[in-house]
Amino acid sequence: MPADPATAVAFRDVARHFGAVRAVDGVTLDIAPGEFFAMLGPSGSGKTTCLRLIAGFEQPTAGAILLFGDEVGQVPPYRRPVNTVFQDYALFPHLNVIDNVAYGLRIAGKGRAERHREAEEALELVALGGYGRRRPSELSGGQRQRVALARALVNRPRVLLLDEPLGALDLKLREAMQEELRTLQRNLGITFVFVTHDQGEALSMADRVAVFNEGRIVQVGSPEEIYSRPAAPFVADFVGSSNVLAPAQVAALGGPAVFASLRPEAIRLTAPGAGRQDGTVRAVRYLGTSSRVTVTTAATGPEDGGHGIGVLIPAGLAVPQPGATVGMDWDEGALHLMGPGR
């Protein structure tokens, strides 16, 4: 197989089966050096198994995985140029922070003074300088997450694997850590491969996103491409909050009989008869910065599950009440056609 050292991580038709379960099913993928790459998908979609394949914790049933041009099928985890940060952090409670961070260096045979110096440098990277003598139990959740990051970075991996590392944090801390992780990755310039089921995390942090479903990649692209130009109804429905219109609905709007995506924020409510389509307001939900209005139309029926069309109205604008008849309008190009099948 040709080696391409310009690619940090490469999957070539990789599969990983557990009996009859195809956890990963024919994945081909290239991740560039220095890229912040997100693997996004629901539970059981194959994203975490792909991360474990890169780390060497799982072996592929078929296909090949390359790191910087070298196939690593027979390379044990400890000899791969990668390190992993897990969701539960896996810190040793009986060791202080600096010894937790320096643990890998100790296993590698480095002397105490050298490994403590390098561990202190890693702690400085994650803004925890001076915390070395504390125990994990004396730290907040965000601080423990940074210790886990420092421990992964101290070995100077060429690829850092992050398995839902922010999942245990509350919302405000998670948002703050998203910014810190992105800044850290830019400053270090190493490849980050980030697994998450949170669409907001993937879209706000990654250079590119791979959307997984049922062991396969449905689409790879920039966050803007994934959000604005989904390749399939699954992507439109899973990433963000989109109206996935069935072929009959699109045909009723004068388009071809294919599935289409129409984002709620792209729709404007008008007077009846003044937009592209009329409907009846079925429900209104207040969301703080906006309200979500669900509109039922003549073309809304069993084919789309009867969900109606969602419209986001920014705070400060008038919101119609349930039962009102409204028109809906949107700019040319807001309706994104995806194809005849799901």
Distance CA 81, CA 55 (A): 9
- Residues 108-134: pLDDT tens digits? 888 989 999 999 999 998 888 889 999
Global pTM? Answer: 0.89
- Cα–Cα distance, 301 to 6 (Å, whole number): 50
| Beta strand pairing call for 62-67 and 191-196 | unpaired
Structure confidence at residue 86 (pLDDT): 84
| Residues near 190 by beta carbon (within 8 Å), at least 6 away in sequence | 34, 157, 158, 159, 160
* Cα distances (angstroms) measured from residue 117 to each of 19, 113, 339: 47, 6, 57
Q: Which domains are delineated in the chain?
A: 9-236 (3.40.50.300), 243-339 (2.40.50.140)
Report yes or no: 24 and 193 within 8 Å, Cβ to Cβ: no
Task: Judge whether residue 2 has pLDDT over 60.
Answer: no
Structure confidence at residue 168 (pLDDT): 66
Backbone angles phi, psi at 100, to 5 degrees: -65, -45
The tens digit of pLDDT for each residue in 238-253 reads 998 889 999 988 998 8
Q: What percentage of residues in the chain have a pLDDT greater than 70?
A: 95
Look at residue 171 in the predicted model and tell me its pLDDT. Answer: 77
DSSP letter assigned to residue 320: P
| 261: its two tokens | 């995506």
Rg (CA), the chain: 24
Q: Determine the Cα–Cα distance for residues 198 and 175; give it in Å rounded to an integer.
A: 12
User: In whole numbers, what is the pLDDT of the chain averaged over residues?
Assistant: 90
Q: Is the pLDDT of residue 174 over 60?
A: yes
CA 319, CA 260: separation in Å to the nearest integer?
Answer: 26
d(CA 97, CA 133): 6
| Packed helices 112-125 and 141-153: angle between N→C axes, nearest 10 degrees | 120
Say how far apart CA 227 and CA 240 lie, in whole Å. 7
Q: Is it the case that residue 299 has pLDDT exceeding 80?
A: no
Amino acid at site 95? L
pLDDT at position 302: 45
Tokens linked to 53: 């394949």
DSSP string, 191-219: EEEEEES-HHHHHHH-SEEEEEETTEEEE
CA–CA separation, 165 and 173 (whole Å): 12
Segment 258-289, tens digit of pLDDT: 999 999 999 999 999 999 999 999 999 999 99
Report the first-to-last Cα separation within the chain, whole angstroms: 34
Burial class (CB in 10 A: 0-12, 13-18, 19+), 63: middle
More confident residue, 304 or 44: 44
Position 126 scores a pLDDT of 86
